[in-house]
Structure 1
Amino acid sequence: MKKVENSAASWTICEECHGRGKKSRRLTKRVLLSYKLACDQFENMNVEGIAPIRPKGHLFPCLICSGSGLIPSVNPPIADKENYPHVAIIGAGIGGVAIAVACLHRGIPFTIYERDSSFDVRSQGYGLTLQQASKAIKGFGIFSLEDGVVSTKHVVHTTEGKVIAEWGMRKWMQSDTKIPPKRTNMHIARQSLRLALLEQLGGHDVVQWGHQLVDFKECADECVDLNFQVNGEIKSAKADLVVGADGIRSSVRKLLIGEDITPLRYLGCIVILGICPLSALEDIDSSLLDSATVFQTANGNERIYIMPYTSDSVMWQLSFPMLEKEAKALSAQGSQALKKEACRRTQWHDPIPQILAATQELQISGYPVYDRELLESKLLEKWGKVTLLGDAAHPMSPFKGQGANQALLDAITLARGISKGCNAATQWRETGIRKSVLTEFELEMLERSASKVKDSAEAAQFLHSEIVLHEGNEPRGSYLKKKLT
């Protein structure tokens, strides 16, 4: 990915495409005539059924904003409190800050509430891989990620070091080619991306830190009353729309639909994570440590995945099957026990033992892997002015690297929906924000993320089975799908 300086201090939506980044081509006379004939025929039949749906023109990137939906602005847009709903965002992780940024660019008033007392009070995960969201990130005014690292090769090994699969741009393209890769994955520390998003908002002060949501209720004045515990006291706030972006154990979700309907589902394995600086591996000569290669090693039970974390460090993720009770107990023992267990299980080919041995205990954590059954949109209709996004709506295992990607896509989709469905030309207060925005957003979000949740759950199984040892230059999931079809 070519890095471009984020020269503009502020952004606003592109009027040409209304912030969508794409425009629709006009329908041809032939298509319009065909649609009109179908409508006339339907009306003349005078029967019940579904009327013909008006065709949509093909979408193409907006040339004015280069597909980002944004154009530079001297000053940030002023929040339009008269026409747009005030959005209360619960949670200041990737998804929560992303929806705030997208609202800022559209003049949608918002407030972010976070239970943590500060930005770095606890770990916000390790590294993430931007896949579908690598293009969508431009829609948040981020045109370069200085801390991002692009990988161009993926290698799979047996524990003895035999290469059983390779793919990626370096595998398929000549080394002396001058044509840049069209599709690459960017790896970045979760906190680095989160900070880049916060900088779009002007810094950390925009977040209401130390606000633990207690409850909320819709009131007679058509607003939602929210109660937070802050420094041992209860503080109240009002909003027109509440967005739960507070993670897999979402308080908003629990208050909205309860915990018993779609409880956490244990996926049968534990993950141990660590970050190792390359400086601690200076005596190790390995092409796998070139900051552009992702590699994994497996034996049908344990599996380790190692990727560039920054230009001078790598992140590793070891996973293996374990009973839930045992996984909870190991996680609770802390980083020393987790490192000892990880090292014991990975006396494999170089440089894996060296990487784990050189990782400081402070940089190691571990947890049992959970997701939830797919959410049905009807469960969200109980509260007309509340919705969910990211892990609060569709938590998934980390094995497909989709959690942050889907949260970013959720955020931009919801903000665009609010901008379209609640502007001055609409009657959203009379119609209701659920009908104007939320129903369509949730249907799109849940449909888009459903396959990601399913594939991520399947990956938790097949990555710890003999399937992972299949010899073939393709991702393990691709082979499984071929085998099943």
Structure 2
Amino acid sequence: MRFSYKRVRVKKNEIEKTSWTICEECQGRGKKSRRLSKKIRLQYQTELEDFEKSNGEGIAPIRPKAHLYTCLNCNGSGLIPSSSHPTADTENYPHVAIIGAGIGGAALALACLHRGIPFTLFERDVNFSARSQGYGLTLQQASKAIEGLGIFSLEEKVISTRHIVHTTDGKVIGEWGIRKWLESGTKTTAKRTNMHIARQSLRLAMLEQLGGDDTVKWGHQLIDFKQGGDQSINLNFHVNGETKSFNADLVVGADGIRSSVRKLLIGDTISPLRYLDCIVILGICPLKNLEDHNSTLLDAATVFQTANGNERIYMMPYTTDSIMWQLSFPMSEAEAKKLSAQGPKALKEEACRRTQWHDPIPQILSATPEGKISGYPVYDRDLLRSELLHNAGPATLIGDAAHPMSPFKGQGANQALLDALTLARVISKKCKPLSQWRKSGIRESVLNEFENEMLERSAVKVKDSADAAQFLHSEIVLHEGDEPRGRCLKSKESKK
């Protein structure tokens, strides 16, 4: 990944440093605002005066917003290299208790570290490897966000340049990606590529930048939290059979789809888990396990999927020498729970039975070790209403705790990373000296603005992911066209 500054010249060995601080020119936002032209300012002032003279009749003029442009000093990351991390500013910033050290929690901790925002990162697992944190993920919108977290190179990443869709007999019914566009002469940009990386690799990169294992309070299972008279929050955890207490100014639930923080704030009855009528079986196959892996589909730069209108398998590079597959199909919730509970052997047998399709699919599934297979019923929740969080006091949610979604659009980790960076940036902006955030409260000063942005941004992703759980297992997936499978559906809907 290339990275350079226009004004601050940074050598390669400086990029590889683990210490960063916010760019003072853009205040860590990565973007700067252009001044509004005099014409636009005068036009707005005239419209506002006319509206006020009309005693509020008609539609109030919308205050114009300045255009944003990339900060040249930090090349849009919001960060510049530093010899050491900023010292935590306990006097001006709130102390943030982050519950969950997965992708979203680690990202929030890292974004706080760069801004001198004090934090404590809690995780119920006893160590980094105690529980599977998922398989591979695809960074789309979040490719820029990880630069905002001080991660400018990921050694284990894989870049895909081609996406192919097949019928079960191997017929190609769709192809897109930078290789396709270059071959056809279509103009494109580097933004149209996807970065694939193992979830644990990205998580490890963030935790290492935080300072390693010592930064995380492992083995801390949240019991409850309550706000005290001084507006601080007291949190209680189960730790090695004992109860331990901690104080903070803000609690952030980054603890996944079955979030303990969400349960304490909202409960399970208001927006319970919603079953999306299908099961997912995942596997990782080392290419060395295949007797012949010379297929062009296994070039570590191709993503492909095959479907028949019911079952659908998606395969992407996991590393340069392994491939990840995701098989999904409709199944009742009771059957999905039962199959998942039977373990890897039963899941592999079911996957192989359903996918006797074109090469190299049967060979890949057969060669996948049982220890690299898992499966689960797919759930999400109804869209979270902002008012449910506006009554939550000094606590909020990010990632799957706030807006869980199906895996079929690859958006869960992307949105969690964006949530984390956005929240840290709002805290940094709104809690500076003289802000008096303690007097007005962290919710009024920070959380309402953050949550409104987060929920508006993620709502379309939640809906699209739920829709994908349906159309990817229907005849729509067999639509012939060089475009993602949901795009033709949206085109039809827009014509209605």
Per the alignment, residue 238 of structure 1 pairs with 247
SS of the aligned residue for 2:444 comes to helix
Larger mean Cα displacement after TM superposition, 374-383 or 68-77: 374-383
Distance 2:277 2:324 in 1: 22
Q: CA deviation at 1:135?
A: 1.1
Structure 2 residue corresponding to 1:7, chosen from 16, 19, 23: 16
Structure 1 residue corresponding to 2:98, chosen from 86, 89, 104: 89
Q: CA deviation at 1:234?
A: 0.6
Distance 2:39 2:482 in 1: 46
Taking the TM superposition and a 5 Å limit, the aligned residue runs for 1:204-353 are 204-353=213-362
Q: CA deviation at 1:2?
A: 4.2
In structure 1, list runs of 5 or more residues that go unmatched.
none
Q: Cα RMSD between the aligned structures?
A: 1.7
SS of the aligned residue for 1:471 comes to coil
SS of the aligned residue for 2:387 comes to helix
Per the alignment, residue 138 of structure 1 pairs with 147
Q: Is 1:456 matched with 2:465?
A: yes
Distance 2:245 2:220 in 1: 10
Q: Is 1:387 matched with 2:396?
A: yes
1:414-461 CA distances to partner (integer Å, 9 max, x unpaired)? Answer: 000000111113110111111111001001000000000000000000
SS of the aligned residue for 2:183 comes to coil
Structure 2 residue corresponding to 1:409, chosen from 410, 413, 418: 418
1:373-410 CA distances to partner (integer Å, 9 max, x unpaired)? Answer: 00001001222100000000000000000000000000
Q: Is 1:106 matched with 2:119?
A: no
Structure 1 residue corresponding to 2:381, chosen from 363, 372, 375: 372
SS of the aligned residue for 2:226 comes to strand
Q: CA deviation at 1:182?
A: 3.7
Q: CA deviation at 1:177?
A: 11
Distance 2:70 2:17 in 1: 21
Distance 2:366 2:63 in 1: 62
Query: Is residue 169–residue 358 contact of structure 2 (8 Å, CA) maintained in 1?
Result: yes
Distance 2:38 2:232 in 1: 46
Distance 2:94 2:83 in 1: 25
Distance 1:259 1:321 in 2: 25
Letter in 1 for 2:150: G
Query: Is residue 314–residue 326 contact of structure 2 (8 Å, CA) maintained in 1?
Result: yes
Query: Is residue 101–residue 254 contact of structure 2 (8 Å, CA) maintained in 1?
Result: yes
Letter in 1 for 2:286: P
Distance 1:302 1:187 in 2: 23
Structure 2 residue corresponding to 1:169, chosen from 178, 203, 208: 178
Per the alignment, residue 422 of structure 1 pairs with 431
Distance 1:463 1:177 in 2: 27
Distance 1:373 1:22 in 2: 33
Structure 2 residue corresponding to 1:441, chosen from 425, 436, 450: 450
Larger mean Cα displacement after TM superposition, 293-302 or 422-431: 422-431
SS of the aligned residue for 1:140 comes to coil
Structure 1 residue corresponding to 2:476, chosen from 461, 467, 471: 467
Distance 2:193 2:147 in 1: 15
Query: Is residue 274–residue 379 contact of structure 2 (8 Å, CA) maintained in 1?
Result: yes
Taking the TM superposition and a 5 Å limit, the aligned residue runs for 1:53-202 are 53-174=62-183, 181-202=190-211
Letter in 1 for 2:295: S
Query: Is residue 18–residue 150 contact of structure 2 (8 Å, CA) maintained in 1?
Result: no
Letter in 2 for 1:468: V
Distance 2:93 2:153 in 1: 30
Distance 1:409 1:50 in 2: 33
Question: Structure 1 length normalisation: TM-score?
Answer: 0.97
Q: Alpha carbons of 1:286 and 1:2: their partners in 2 closer, same or farther (altered >3 Å)? A: farther
Q: CA deviation at 1:179?
A: 9.1
Q: Alpha carbons of 1:278 and 1:239: their partners in 2 closer, same or farther (altered >3 Å)? A: same
Letter in 1 for 2:257: I
Distance 2:232 2:385 in 1: 25
SS of the aligned residue for 1:409 comes to helix
In structure 2, list runs of 5 or more residues that go unmatched.
4-11
Letter in 2 for 1:316: W
Q: CA deviation at 1:126?
A: 0.1
Q: CA deviation at 1:132?
A: 0.3
1:24-46 CA distances to partner (integer Å, 9 max, x unpaired)? Answer: 10011101111221222233233
Query: Is residue 181–residue 188 contact of structure 2 (8 Å, CA) maintained in 1?
Result: no
Per the alignment, residue 476 of structure 1 pairs with 485
Number of equivalences: 485
Distance 1:44 1:302 in 2: 63
Letter in 1 for 2:325: W
- % identity of equivalent residues: 74
SS of the aligned residue for 2:487 comes to helix
Distance 2:385 2:58 in 1: 25
Q: Alpha carbons of 1:50 and 1:443: their partners in 2 closer, same or farther (altered >3 Å)? A: farther
Distance 1:110 1:426 in 2: 20
